[in-house]
Structure 1
Amino acid sequence: MATVAGTPHGPVRVNAVLDAPLSRWLWLVKWILVIPHYVVLFFLWIAFIVVSVIAFFSILFTERYPRPLFDFNLGVLRWTWRVGYYSYGALATDRYPPFSLGEQPDYPARLDVVYPEQLSRGLVLVKWWLLAIPHYIVIGFFLGGYHLGWWDGGLVAVLSVIAAVIMAFTETYPRDLFELIVGLNRWVLRVAAYAALMTDTYPPFRLDMGGTEPSAGKSLS
């Protein structure tokens, strides 16, 4: 895997802590509780796309991703990850996610992307629509989508609900499922950062499982 100064395991760092105890039944209504977040995130993701387009031209002409734009898009990814972790992207915490673009060190789901001092003009032309296509196919299976009138929740949502059902009857969130679910989310977030032009480091085709990055987590090559 490519290395970045100060981050020997890659520029995108996804970490999570499994909260305990968790409510046995709160997961049944979290889809209602996160509606305010979904409304805000809808507009934030529109802004994310606009910012990414502006960053595209900035990188093309200056080889730099303007730091304020980078911090905004990182904030959107962080917000999205926290909401997903609370809701059906993991169901691994009952702590309501904050309405914030900033870093939240005390929240159990954390994301960081190392700011790149320089980015390739050539890669910016092809990575989001061409080079990332193999990853899109893989994470499409993880996330699901809208097909023929049905919303397919994808593998991540299915595994999260299975974990919640098991927890409802055993009062324990299965540790192996937690590590797998976080690994799947980690893959998605790495691809999101790459496709958003925030790094030139190509995401590995590897499932790094566990709440911490590969240095301390499990990997499935």
Structure 2
Amino acid sequence: MSATPTPTTPTSLGKHPVSPVSPVSLEGRYDTGLSRWLWLVKWVLAIPHYVVLLFLWIGFVLITFVAFFAVLFTGRYPRLLFDYNVGVLRWSWRVEYYAYGSLATDRYPPFALADVADYPAHLDIAYPEHLSRGLVLVKSWLLVVPQLIVAALMAGGYRFNGGLTGLLAFYAGVALLFTGRYPRGMYDLNMGLHRWVARVLAYGLLLTDVYPPYRLDQGEREPVV
């Protein structure tokens, strides 16, 4: 009797299974129907989010301090604390995708730490079952420094809306004003820069031990290898 053939799955096609480049996933959906003028007032519309995020980030800092000692003594990042901090990063990304980090959607961001499936911007970080107790002592101030220099040029450091990303968003706003379209190449580059910064954020803020790759993965979706 011959063996039953194993069903082929999308992740097992070809010689090598596909896997994500990074445990950090940052994605968006390109929108061709953006308003020509709304971006001019988004700084006002986003104020309620910035106020809430101010308090959320205070919590983020305190939780990261607690998580540092948890990882140092146990090798684990407490899941509830991890989910909160990922939620703050996720919320921040949605706001900057709407506002001056990208200007890539006119849909107002939800007030939520959880992922919102039908919103056009998403961020997630795979939960690590174990983190190095030794790395936690050096990665956030020493090992991340070369990447942080790059991130500072891209987005002002531990942010989503400064540096080159903010400049690209401004140029995209001007293009929208005069043409009614967000230049696709500009969008893809902006996403790639944000993706790089998100990986640096996750590593420097102790959420992963996977060192950020020196690669610019542009476009809406995360690459796989």
TM-score normalised to the size of structure 2? 0.88
**2:36 — aligned with what?**
24
Secondary structure, counterpart of 1:121 in structure 2: coil
Percentage of matched positions with identical amino acids? 59
Instruction: Between the two structures, name the one with larger relative contact order (CA 8 Å, sep ≥ 6).
Output: 2
Secondary structure, counterpart of 2:182 in structure 1: coil
Amino acid in the other structure paired with 2:79: R
1:1-221 to 2 correspondence within 5 Å? 7-144=19-156, 153-215=162-224
Gaps (5+ residues) in structure 2? 1-16
The CA RMSD measured in Å over matched residues stands at 1.7
Give the number of equivalent residue pairs.
206
> What's the offset of the Cα at 1:8?
3.2
> What's the offset of the Cα at 1:143?
2.0
**2:4 — aligned with what?**
none
Greater Rg by CA: 2
Q: Which has the higher strand share?
A: 1
> What's the offset of the Cα at 1:215?
2.9
Structure 1 range deviating more: 193-202 or 135-144: 135-144
**1:219 — aligned with what?**
none
Secondary structure, counterpart of 2:217 in structure 1: strand
Equivalent-residue separation in structure 1 for 2:56 and 2:20 (angstroms): 31
Gaps (5+ residues) in structure 1? 146-151, 217-221
> What's the offset of the Cα at 1:196?
1.3
TM-score normalised to the size of structure 1? 0.89
Amino acid in the other structure paired with 2:32: A
Secondary structure, counterpart of 1:139 in structure 2: helix
Runs of 4+ in 1 over 6 A off after TM superposition: none
CA displacement 1:119-138 (0-9 Å, x = unmatched): 00010000001000011111
The 1:214/1:6 distance shift into structure 2, 3 A limit, reads closer
